[in-house]
Amino acid sequence: VHRLPNDLKRMIKTARECNVCLDGLAISHEIQCQMLVWYHIKSTAMRHLFNSGEQVKCLKNQHKVVLVGNAERLAKYLDNEQHSRGRCRCTACHHARTEPGCSSPHKCFQKVKNLLESLTPKWNPLIALPNNVSVPLMDDDVDKPDGQANYFQPCLVMTGSLSDAFRIFVEGNECPHMYNAPIQDPTRLQEMIAVYTDGSAIKTGTREAAAGAGVFYGDNDERNKSIHLPNEIGKTSQASEIIGAKMAAEDTLTTIRMDLFSNSKHVLDSLSNCFIK
């Protein structure tokens, strides 16, 4: 770190102070493959696994392995039925000897597999995503609300680019395992609950500012509730409307379809149009 330029030192210092990390409920294969494989931050192995031995030199210099995606491509050659130990004559080993000039393809393939297996399950591309996080939580053939409705389809898998996986102000320890989403019961997806939410604020930007949110299920329904927003959240109408939607979602079982009624364009856009898929 001492040899880094001052601007990079400041960036690292700020990241540590703000508890920046890479995380997500489940990481897409595309993002996993964009990580640098050498000195992978999510590896549980000792450092010597990454920087010692003839295979490490060969992988870096001959095979030009830089990213996790490069390593995965080589590691998968071990799954080829035609591949064998030693002087293997399979297509992959023949190519490795003639093109990059590798003297021990099998050892190099095994080395990168060891590197990948040292990664936590969430970041290991050799581990397939569970079906309950890699498929939509609601089937497309489920009837959608009538009228001017925005359809919310939650995505548990972090997609996009590597930059989308950065988190800031993280508290506690990171979870190395993929999120184990509850298995949906198709029969319960037919159940529907209607919830009305709203939020408002007065005297915004002044010391007398006040804001609150409410959730309404029906007349005399014991689930109806309201809340005054504390100062640390920010006493604005938009914050109030978001808090109202948040309370409704938290109070509804994940196995039941919820129709959320709100006159807030900010809430509807945040949960649908602006939601990263």
The tokens for 68 are 């996790």
pTM confidence score: 0.68
Question: Is 1's pLDDT higher than 70?
Answer: no
Phi, psi (rounded to 5 degrees) for 58:
-65, -40
CATH 3.30.565.10 fits 188-273, yes or no: no
The tokens for 167 are 């988190």
pLDDT band at 20 (very low <50, low <70, confident <90, very high): very high
Q: Which of 26-35, 74-83, 144-153, 224-233 has the highest mean pLDDT?
A: 26-35
In this structure, of 61-70, 152-161, 235-244, the range with the lowest mean pLDDT score is: 152-161
Question: Is 34's pLDDT higher than 90?
Answer: yes
pLDDT band at 134 (very low <50, low <70, confident <90, very high): low
Give the integer Cα–Cα distance in Å for 154 and 125. Answer: 23
Tell me the pLDDT tens digit for each residue of 184-197.
555 555 577 889 99
- Give the residue carrying structure tokens 């914050």: 239
**Please, which residues bridge with residue 36 across strands?**
67
What size, in residues, is the chain?
A: 277
Domain spans, the chain: 29-123, 188-273
Sequence-ordered strand ranges (E) for the chain: 21-22, 26-27, 157-158, 166-167, 192-202, 210-216, 225-228, 257-261
Mean pLDDT of the chain: 83
Asked if 227 and 199 count as a contact pair (C-beta separation under 8 A), the reply is no
Q: What's the confidence (pLDDT) of residue 252? A: 79
Give the integer Cα–Cα distance in Å for 256 and 94. Answer: 55
Question: Is 108's pLDDT higher than 90?
Answer: yes
